Amino acid sequence: MKPENQAASPGFFTSKLNDMVGWARKYSLFQYPFVTACCGMEYMSVACAHYDIDRFGAGLPRFSPRQSDVLMVVGTISHKLAPVLKQIYDQMCDPKWVVAFGVCTCTGGFYDNYATVMGIDTIIPVDVYIPGCPPRPENVLDGLMKLQEKIQRQPA
């Protein structure tokens, strides 16, 4: 007869499988860059050899949302562009994650007017916020590592 606490816990095989799938997902990030403004220059610098985003498994951007699992929203989002962003998010397959890159994407930045979305989390769910105007490449890599930790903790 099994003790009561053992019956509720996942088995050895299931927990090891979850660990393996989490590790594989965290090092195979296919990002879709949704670049709209000046933060795009910093986004490109992170992909250069000096910072080498490829060592985190995120080196090959995809240019179709159907082939990607990380949506990198980079720059200011206007209300006119918001439905396009929502449609792109909806086209992505599960599991999917969203990174808000730059202060304009996170909170609307210094734009406080009728045309700008005050944070993309009002349109789509955001997993990681990387603030800055523009964020330094080191901050982008730190945000990417935080996303990897979140991905690894999710069940398969």
pLDDT in tens, 91-100: 999 889 999 9
Q: Is the pLDDT higher at 89 or at 39?
A: 89
Residue 26, pLDDT score: 75
CA distances from 115 to 7, 45, 71, 78, 121 (A): 55, 29, 22, 5, 16
Rounded Cα distance between 59 and 121, Å, is 25
pLDDT in tens, 2-47: 555 555 556 555 567 777 777 777 778 888 999 988 888 888 888 7
- Whether pLDDT at 118 is above 80: yes
Q: For residues 117 and 16, which has the higher predicted lDDT (pLDDT)?
A: 117
pTM for the complete prediction?
0.81
Q: Does domain 30-151 have CATH number 3.40.50.12280?
A: yes
Task: List, for residues 105-115, the tens digit of each pLDDT value.
Answer: 998 888 888 89
If one counts every other C-beta atom within 10 angstroms of the C-beta of residue 140, the result is 26
Q: Tell me the pLDDT of the chain averaged across its residues.
A: 84
17 or 146: which leads in pLDDT: 146
